[in-house]
Chains A and B, each alone.
Chain A
């Protein structure tokens, strides 16, 4: 019963967790409805886009990318706080705890974040750990919350915090400490729903201790108080109304257990016919009515239940109870028919359960569960639990257990990870293909480049350059004026030589004598000019040599660069290495995942198999009891008919 209240508490808290995780995300403004601030870092904006769509995995990946690429700038510690919230919603509670501890300090005061933000971080971490059943860690984190600050900033959370503390005081100690629980209870607002949950759980603890009278008094007082608070419009607070119904049902059961049928009957009559516990109440009502000897009322209640879909395992006793009531009302023929019907039903259900167990595998299990979906896939709550409802009665009870829910969520998470890794496996194969293609293209380009380089005849150019350099050096050493002549001067020299040859062939007359004298003057002028221009010519030649040296150096350098680029493939190699490393990592992770999947699947199947086995045993006991009753009634009817026949004769 306390567990049920716990589940109620969890349902209630889910939407609060969602909204408050959002508050944590937008903490810079820190108000009840903070206006979003313009992001200073594109990556952070991207993280928030995923975060607000509940895509924790993508958001966490982006945060991780940011962390290896210089971090998120301009938002202080808030990205880390968002990461904590994301880790919580992605089911990474321990990572979230470590992050919050690092971020906020062991004493919860070691950061520049406001006390309100720190409080929320500790509170939600503590609460998630509490829901996971890790009470020690839950207490450690809840103790870090500054109660006074929380009371001022978040009065509702403060009430829940007190409630959780009180529950932990009862659950952690080998012997619950009434003083510690009382201390928290005294601080709770007596009208808050959390105070009522605490009172309800206290009544259940009293009952568990064998103190039924104390439990009755506690529950009666709780119901009185909640009804007084609800006033004329109880429907305004559905959660409190549900707790009232739950408390009444529990109270009636205690009365029934103590044989106080009248009080049980009166308590059950107050229960709503359409509430969440109406079927259960109707059944208890039938028991109470029968206890008071009001068989017609009991039968009416059982008939109402019979007309409904008998979905829950506990409702399977209704067909038998109907037969039994009819028998007790001395309507043996109807009772016989009812038992016949009940036995057939149990036989059918038993056969179904045997078939279900025999054919139990993951696919058949999933086929019996209806996962609630929206446009973005399967729906989960703020803690990553799947929203799922069973499609047959055999799974309704086990589905309500925390361990089954956890196993189902884990399986779901593992499958999502597997699908994700499968996608990456394909992606990596295409990357590999891309790198191979790039390598082939590169090889082809290198071949073409080598061909072009070969066509440049670089060696010949280098040899000519060397020869030219050597000639100039030697001419300089010789002070060879003629070597450095300009093209015009060289042409002039050739012409003078041709003139000299012509003069040598002419007869030695006066005219020739004049011409030779003129030639000598021209030759002398030419020689003087060559000597005079030597410095200029030499400098021009040396300048050209330097320019050639520079050009040749550049030519060699470019060739060297090309050669290096062709020989050195570091970038491609680095990418290939990274790809290979990721492929290895991916393969290893897939193996680990396969193992984890197998374990999770095994745990889930074992749990379901056990539940189906228990239900089959239950159906068999109902069937056997129905058959016995059938035999008994048939015998009785036969004897009656025999006696009537004998009387007639």
Chain B
């Protein structure tokens, strides 16, 4: 009585195993094809990256020529005393950008990344830039701080950095705007 059961179940099990392993065996046979497809996809990716680069540069040349380009970046140093939540940017009294951060974006900033918050055009001459930074500060309290910078825009590209830093002297965050050469 046992023997037929055993043989049948094994026959079924073996059949099943053979059927299941079919595609796996076929996979090893198609390895060269897989590799060649992977290579062609890789080549396409390379071309698309290059095209994206060229289009990115073209877009900047068209919309934000070097003579008037003005960009503002955001950086966070360690972020121990401030969990960044949002940033608002005013240029000459007008709000030009406001941004709410996800957890992942905050982590990317805390790991040394810099976000390009805003890019636009600005005439040569004197301008005023104000940044409002919001988040959760020490003791888990809502924190809001602003920083202002008066700067002179020359004939080349201008770049500013909104820098959120930890100040260990009083365990408070600080916000400043720094001009890049």
Determine, out of A92-100, A117-125, A493-501, A547-555, the stretch whose residues face the partner at the interface. A92-100
Cβ distance B7 to chain A, nearest Cβ, rounded Å? 11
Cβ distance A601 to chain B, nearest Cβ, rounded Å? 12
Pairs of residues from A and B, 5 with the lowest C-beta to C-beta distance, nearest first: A45-B114, A49-B113, A36-B112, A52-B108, A64-B53
- List, in ascending order, chain B residues with CB within 8 A of A92's CB: 42, 45-46
Q: Across the two chains, which residue of chain B brings its CB closest to A607?
A: B23
A539 contacts chain B at the CB level, 8 A cutoff: no
Interchain CA distance A610-B29 in the complex, whole Å:
15
Determine, out of B10-18, B81-89, B120-128, the stretch whose residues face the partner at the interface. B10-18
A3 and B24 within 8 A (CB): yes
B9 and A582 within 8 A (CB): no
B51 and A585 within 8 A (CB): yes
Determine, out of A241-249, A414-422, A439-447, the stretch whose residues face the partner at the interface. A414-422
Instruction: With A321-B9, A324-B8 as known contacts, state yes or no: A579 contacts B58, CB within 8 Å.
Output: yes
Interchain CA distance A291-B5 in the complex, whole Å:
8
B141 contacts chain A at the CB level, 8 A cutoff: no
B6 and A53 within 8 A (CB): no
B44 contacts chain A at the CB level, 8 A cutoff: yes
Interchain CB contact (< 8 A) of A614 among B19, B42, B58, B62: B19
Instruction: With A52-B107, A134-B35 as known contacts, state yes or no: A621 contacts B58, CB within 8 Å.
Output: no
- List, in ascending order, chain B residues with CB within 8 A of A36's CB: 78, 110-112
Interchain CA distance A401-B35 in the complex, whole Å:
15
Instruction: With A52-B113, A287-B6, A596-B40 as known contacts, state yes or no: A420 contacts B52, CB within 8 Å.
Output: yes
Interchain CA distance A64-B57 in the complex, whole Å:
10
A177 contacts chain B at the CB level, 8 A cutoff: no
- List, in ascending order, chain B residues with CB within 8 A of A31's CB: none
Interchain CA distance A621-B9 in the complex, whole Å:
13
Interchain CA distance A199-B78 in the complex, whole Å:
44
Q: Across the two chains, which residue of chain A brings its CB closest to B76?
A: A36
B27 contacts chain A at the CB level, 8 A cutoff: yes
Interchain CB contact (< 8 A) of B50 among A22, A64, A69, A90: A64
Q: Is the contact region of chain A dominated by helix, strand, or loop, or is it mixed? A: helix
Interchain CA distance A442-B71 in the complex, whole Å:
28
A375 and B102 within 8 A (CB): yes
B112 and A39 within 8 A (CB): yes
A45 and B53 within 8 A (CB): no
- List, in ascending order, chain B residues with CB within 8 A of A431's CB: 58-59, 62
Interchain CA distance A435-B62 in the complex, whole Å:
9
A95 and B57 within 8 A (CB): no
- List, in ascending order, chain A residues with CB within 8 A of B30's CB: 403
Cβ distance A576 to chain B, nearest Cβ, rounded Å? 11
Determine, out of A103-111, A345-353, A459-467, A586-594, the stretch whose residues face the partner at the interface. A586-594
Cβ distance B167 to chain A, nearest Cβ, rounded Å? 15
Instruction: With A49-B114, A401-B24, A417-B44 as known contacts, state yes or no: A424 contacts B55, CB within 8 Å.
Output: yes
Instruction: With A48-B114, A317-B12, A434-B62 as known contacts, state yes or no: A94 contacts B42, CB within 8 Å.
Output: yes
Can you list 13 residue pairs at the A/B interface with Cβ under 8 Å? A26-B112, A36-B110, A52-B107, A92-B45, A287-B6, A290-B9, A314-B13, A317-B9, A401-B27, A403-B26, A414-B41, A607-B23, A618-B15
B41 and A46 within 8 A (CB): no
Interchain CA distance A51-B111 in the complex, whole Å:
10
For B32-75 the 0/1 string (1 means CB < 8 A from A) is 00110111111011111111111111110110000000010101
Instruction: With A328-B1, A410-B38, A593-B44 as known contacts, state yes or no: A582 contacts B54, CB within 8 Å.
Output: yes
B115 contacts chain A at the CB level, 8 A cutoff: yes
Name the interface size band of chain B: 35 or more
Interchain CA distance A610-B75 in the complex, whole Å:
52
Interchain CB contact (< 8 A) of B12 among A321, A375, A578: A321
Q: Across the two chains, which residue of chain B brings its CB closest to A55?
A: B108
A38 contacts chain B at the CB level, 8 A cutoff: yes
Interchain CA distance A615-B22 in the complex, whole Å:
11
For A57-71 the 0/1 string (1 means CB < 8 A from B) is 100110011001100
Cβ distance A123 to chain B, nearest Cβ, rounded Å? 21
Name the interface size band of chain A: 35 or more
Which residues, 370 to 399 on A, are CB-close (under 8 Å) to B? 375-376, 397-398
- List, in ascending order, chain A residues with CB within 8 A of B105's CB: 49, 53
A22 and B31 within 8 A (CB): no
Q: Across the two chains, which residue of chain B brings its CB closest to A622?
A: B12
Interchain CA distance A435-B59 in the complex, whole Å:
12
A469 contacts chain B at the CB level, 8 A cutoff: no
For B98-118 the 0/1 string (1 means CB < 8 A from A) is 000010110111111111100
A42 contacts chain B at the CB level, 8 A cutoff: yes
- List, in ascending order, chain A residues with CB within 8 A of B113's CB: 45-53
A155 contacts chain B at the CB level, 8 A cutoff: no
Cβ distance A286 to chain B, nearest Cβ, rounded Å? 8
Cβ distance A586 to chain B, nearest Cβ, rounded Å? 7
B159 contacts chain A at the CB level, 8 A cutoff: yes
Which residues, 452 to 504 on A, are CB-close (under 8 Å) to B? none
A65 and B62 within 8 A (CB): no
Which residues, 580 to 613 on A, are CB-close (under 8 Å) to B? 582, 585-586, 589, 592-593, 596, 599-600, 603, 607, 610-611
A42 and B53 within 8 A (CB): no
Cβ distance A384 to chain B, nearest Cβ, rounded Å? 10
Cβ distance A549 to chain B, nearest Cβ, rounded Å? 33
Interchain CA distance A38-B165 in the complex, whole Å:
11
Cβ distance B29 to chain A, nearest Cβ, rounded Å? 10
Interchain CB contact (< 8 A) of A413 among B10, B22, B41: B41
B34 and A60 within 8 A (CB): no
A320 and B19 within 8 A (CB): no
- List, in ascending order, chain B residues with CB within 8 A of A434's CB: 62
Q: Across the two chains, which residue of chain A brings its CB closest to B12?
A: A317
B9 and A91 within 8 A (CB): no
Apart from A402-B27, A431-B58, A431-B62, what are 13 other A-B pairs with CB-CB below 8 Å?
A: A36-B112, A45-B113, A45-B114, A48-B111, A50-B108, A61-B52, A65-B57, A68-B53, A91-B38, A376-B104, A401-B23, A401-B27, A417-B48
Interchain CB contact (< 8 A) of A57 among B9, B49, B104, B159: B49
Interchain CA distance A567-B2 in the complex, whole Å:
100
Interchain CB contact (< 8 A) of A291 among B2, B20, B111: B2
Cβ distance A401 to chain B, nearest Cβ, rounded Å? 6
Instruction: With A314-B16, A420-B52 as known contacts, state yes or no: A132 contacts B6, CB within 8 Å.
Output: no
Interchain CA distance A435-B8 in the complex, whole Å:
76
Interchain CA distance A518-B93 in the complex, whole Å:
81
Instruction: With A290-B9, A314-B16 as known contacts, state yes or no: A91 contacts B42, CB within 8 Å.
Output: yes
A183 contacts chain B at the CB level, 8 A cutoff: no
- List, in ascending order, chain A residues with CB within 8 A of B56's CB: 61, 65
